[in-house]
Structure 1
Amino acid sequence: MVGSRVHTLSSCLMLVCILLSSSYAEAALSCGTVIGKLTPCLNYLRMGGAVPPACCTGVQGLNAVAKTTPDRQTACGCMKSAAAGISGLQLPFAASLPGKCGVNIPYKISPTTDCTTVK
């Protein structure tokens, strides 16, 4: 039952992100890609604990494909939009995730981040 809820949530988030990605038309990165790479992180983002290896693989992969300013802005916007729809999301866990996976991103993961200023 939990697996189907996560799958349903992931599907809904992907749809929302695809719809929102039209505002980031210059980016080659899609919200579907962002969500797909971060889906293995959902349990950590809700409950903390050890970060699953698949989560860090996704975070590192996302960092590797988000090389341009439009791609980084898209990733930021997609994460913010997706986070708003995840019940139980713990913002401190989300903010700590890049560092725990050995990734340095040029902005803070927060609902207050202005993604248009991400370079």
Structure 2
Amino acid sequence: MKQYFSILGLFLLSLQLFQSSEADIGCSDVLKDLTPCVSYLTTSSGSPSTACCNGVTTLASATSSTADRRAACSCIMNVVSKVKPNIEAAKALPGSCNITLPFTVSPNLDCSKID
């Protein structure tokens, strides 16, 4: 539970650091959608919860423009760099939820190159 609050705090910090004026999506949206996935991403055991998959699906639907995809990516990568979740679980999350995202989370992802 302590780790959950640490991750939540980092997500909240991301709100202030990476909001884009061009994007309709903000880090608060990303936080809301991905919070149910914290347990899966940090323990990488079992399957993601229904709430987690619903959040990933909502996030994928909300990132319809390049600016939205880049803003969401920046929020995610900021947290990934600080929290260090299981990268394989992060990469597998969209497929585990039967959706496709326009980018794959990896330590070297350059969000500015996402179309």
TM-score between the two structures when normalised by the length of structure 1: 0.87
Superposition deviation, residue 73 in structure 1: 0.3
Identical aligned residues as a percent: 32
CA distance in 2, matches of 1:9, 1:112: 20
CA distance in 2, matches of 1:74, 1:111: 17
CA contact (8 A) 1:13 1:35 kept: no
Partner residue of 1:6? 4
CA distance in 1, matches of 2:64, 2:70: 10
Q: 1:78-106, CA deviations, whole angstroms, 9 ceiling, x for partnerless residues?
A: 1000112225x110000000111111112
Superposition deviation, residue 5 in structure 1: 4.9
> 2:21 corresponds to which letter in structure 1?
A
CA contact (8 A) 2:11 2:75 kept: no
Over 4 Å off, 4+ runs: none
CA distance in 1, matches of 2:97, 2:56: 7
> 2:5 corresponds to which letter in structure 1?
H
**Match among 96, 103, 114 for residue 99 of structure 2:** 103
